[in-house]
Structure 1
Amino acid sequence: MSDSLAPYLPYLLALILPPGVFIVLLLVGLRQLRPRRALGIALVLLACTGLWLGSTTGWAWVTQSFVLRVPPALGPLDLDELKTQAKAQAKGEPSVAIVVLGGGVVPRSPDYRLSDLSFIGLQRLRYGLWLARQTGLPVAYSGGLPHGMPASVTPEARVAERIAREEYGITLRWVEDSSRDTRENAGRTAALLRQAGVRKIVLVTHAWHMPRAQRAFAEALGGSGLHIQPAPMGLLLPDTSPLARWTPSLDGLIENRHAWREWLARLLGR
C-alpha cells in the first residue's frame, strides 16, 4: 500500500465494513423509496438484515468456519509433540520456534506513559508466551510500524520485547521490528529464522487472521522446507444458546468486522 493513501484507509474501511456498509445501503434504500419503491424496500430490508446478522457471533462463526476456513486450535497432543521437540533441541540451536505476529501498537498509552501494544497485540503476545512456558520453545515477535505511522513511534516488536521481559519474565529470542503488514511480517521473519537454522515455526495470531498469515508465510518460505504449524487463538465456539448467538452484540460486530476485513484482504491479494 502507498504511504500516501494510508491516512485515508480508516475512513475507507468505515464505509465498506460492518456496520458502515449497511448504513450506506440503508440510506440509499430510503432515498429510492419514492422513485423506485420496490427497489427501495428491497435495499432497506437487505440493509436491516445485514445490520442484524453482521452484529451476531453466530454469523461471525459461520464466516470464519466456511468462508475464511480457520484451522483448529492446538490440542493436548500438539502441545505434547512440541514439548518433545523442545527437549530434543535443548542442548543445541533451536529448530522449532514460536512466531507471534503483531496486532498493533499504541504510540503513547495514557495509563503507562509509554508505548503499549494494542489489545489484539497483547492477546497474541500473552498466548505466545503461554505456549513458550508450556513447551519450552523460544519465541519470536514480528511487528514494526503500520503504514502511515510516524517513525518516531517505538516499533511494536520492541514494545512487545519490553512487556515480555518486565511483565512475564521471558526474553524474546528474536525481534523483527521493521515490518509494516502481514506480508512483510512473513518475509522478514522467515529470513531471520532461516539464518538461525529454524526448520519449523508455530505461528500465533488470531483465528480470523490465520489463513492470510499462513498464505503469506508459505509464499515467503517458498520451497525452503520450513514447516508452518498454525496456532490460532480467539476462535469462536458455537456453544452458547441459539438466542445469544443470533442476538446483536458488540463482540459479534467486532468479530464480523475482522472477518470481513480478512476476506477483502484475500480478494485484493494482500
Structure 2
Amino acid sequence: MSPNDLIAALNLHALKGLAGKLLLPPASPLLLALLGLLLWRRRPRLARALVVLGLVSMWLLCLPAVGLGLARWLTTPPPPLTDAQVLALKGARSTAIVVLGAGRRDPAPEYGVPDLRPLTAERLRYGAWLARRTGLPLAFSGGLAPGVDPGETEAAAATRVAERDLGVRLRWREDRSRDTAENAQFTVALLSQAGITQIVLVTHDMHQRRALAGFERAMQRQGVRLALLPAPMAVPPAGPLAAGDFMPSVEGLQRSVYALHEWLGRLAGA
C-alpha cells in the first residue's frame, strides 16, 4: 500500500494538501529561515546555518536554470508528440484522448460560473486540438480536489468550456477523482467498459510520468490492459541556457515548485 492509498483509506485528503504546501517552496525555505531566527539566541551557530540555508535555497529555487534542471532530473518528461505520430492517430480504432484536470477556478465572476485553472485550460485546449486533428473522441478526468469547496466538478466546467470556447464535445467525463491516482482508477474503468484499448494521455510535461505510473497501477489492479501514448505539453525546447536563466523570477520558482510537487506525488503514489 502506497502512502497515498493509506491517506485515502483514512480519508485524510485535506491533511495531504496542507502537508504538501508546507513541504514545498516557498513555505519550506521560509520556515527554515524562521526556525533559525527563533533559535538565534539559544543556538546561534545552528540558527545562522538555518537562515542561510533557507534564504540561499529560496534564491536558487527562483532561478529558471534550477527549475529546468529539477524538471529534467526529477520528472524526466517524455518528448512531445511529433507530427507523424499525430497523423498516425487519425481514425485509430478503439482509441480515446484523455485530458487530466488540474483544478477549477471558483468563483469566476467574469463568467458567472466556475471556470478552469490555467493548467487545466491549457491541457483541454491541447486535447481539443488533437481531437480535431485526429477525429478521435475526447475524455476528461477531474472531480473536486481535497480542500476545494463543494460545487460543480472540474469535469462539468470542462464540458462547458470545451463546447463554449473550443467547439468540441466530450464523449466521456469522469467527475469523481480527487488526485492523479483516482484520475487513473476511474478513467481506466470507464474507458475499458466502453471498449477503448488505447489512451492518448494529455497532461503537462512534468506531470506525465506520474500520470503514466498511475494508469499502469490502475490497469494492474483492475486486470485490464490499455496501450498508453503520452502526449505531454509545454515541454521546454532544448538548447543552451541564457543569462536570464540565472536571475531569480516567478517563472523559475513556479517551475521548481511544480517539479518538486510531481516528485513528491510520485513518491507517495498519488
The TM-score, its normalising length taken from structure 2, stands at 0.88
Q: CA deviation at 1:46?
A: 2.2
* Counterparts of residues 57-76 of structure 1 (less than 5 Å): 57-76=64-83
Q: Distance in 1 between matches of 2:74 and 2:200?
A: 23
* Local SS of the residue matching 1:224: coil
For the pair 1:21 / 2:28, whether they are aligned, the reply is yes
Share of identical aligned residues, percent?
Answer: 41
- The residue number in structure 2 matching 1:128 is 127
Conservation of the 8 A alpha-carbon contact between 1:238 and 1:245: no
- The residue number in structure 2 matching 1:193 is 191
For the pair 1:111 / 2:118, whether they are aligned, the reply is no
Conservation of the 8 A alpha-carbon contact between 1:61 and 1:238: no
Q: CA deviation at 1:34?
A: 4.8
The partner residue of 2:167 within 166, 169, 184 is: 169
* Counterparts of residues 180-259 of structure 1 (less than 5 Å): 180-222=178-220, 224-237=224-237, 239=239, 241-259=241-259
* Local SS of the residue matching 1:173: strand
Deviations 1:47-72 (A, max 9, x none): 22211121122112111111221111
* Counterparts of residues 81-120 of structure 1 (less than 5 Å): 81-83=88-90, 86=91, 89=92, 94-120=93-119
Conservation of the 8 A alpha-carbon contact between 2:104 and 2:115: yes
The partner residue of 2:152 within 151, 154, 160 is: 154
Q: Distance in 2 between matches of 1:161 and 1:106?
A: 14
Cα RMSD, aligned residues only: 2.1
Conservation of the 8 A alpha-carbon contact between 1:58 and 1:238: no
Q: CA deviation at 1:28?
A: 2.6
Q: Distance in 2 between matches of 1:22 and 1:224?
A: 43
Q: Distance in 2 between matches of 1:112 and 1:258?
A: 28
Q: Distance in 1 between matches of 2:236 and 2:46?
A: 36
1:263 counterpart letter in structure 2: W
Q: CA deviation at 1:155?
A: 1.3
Q: CA deviation at 1:171?
A: 0.8
Q: Distance in 1 between matches of 2:40 and 2:238?
A: 38
Conservation of the 8 A alpha-carbon contact between 1:164 and 1:172: yes
Q: Distance in 1 between matches of 2:157 and 2:232?
A: 22
Q: CA deviation at 1:109?
A: 0.7
Deviations 1:188-246 (A, max 9, x none): 11111111211110101111111111001011112533110111112233547532112
Deviations 1:126-182 (A, max 9, x none): 11111111222111001111123344x111111111111111111111111121111
Q: CA deviation at 1:38?
A: 4.0
Q: CA deviation at 1:263?
A: 1.4
2:33 counterpart letter in structure 1: L
Conservation of the 8 A alpha-carbon contact between 2:107 and 2:115: yes
Conservation of the 8 A alpha-carbon contact between 1:141 and 1:176: yes
- The residue number in structure 1 matching 2:177 is 179
Q: Distance in 1 between matches of 2:235 and 2:56?
A: 24
Conservation of the 8 A alpha-carbon contact between 2:103 and 2:120: yes
1:105 counterpart letter in structure 2: R
Q: Distance in 2 between matches of 1:138 and 1:37?
A: 62
Q: Distance in 2 between matches of 1:149 and 1:46?
A: 33
Consecutive unaligned residues of structure 2, counting only runs of 5 or more, are 1-6
- The residue number in structure 1 matching 2:3 is none
Conservation of the 8 A alpha-carbon contact between 2:17 and 2:146: no
Consecutive unaligned residues of structure 1, counting only runs of 5 or more, are none
2:262 counterpart letter in structure 1: E
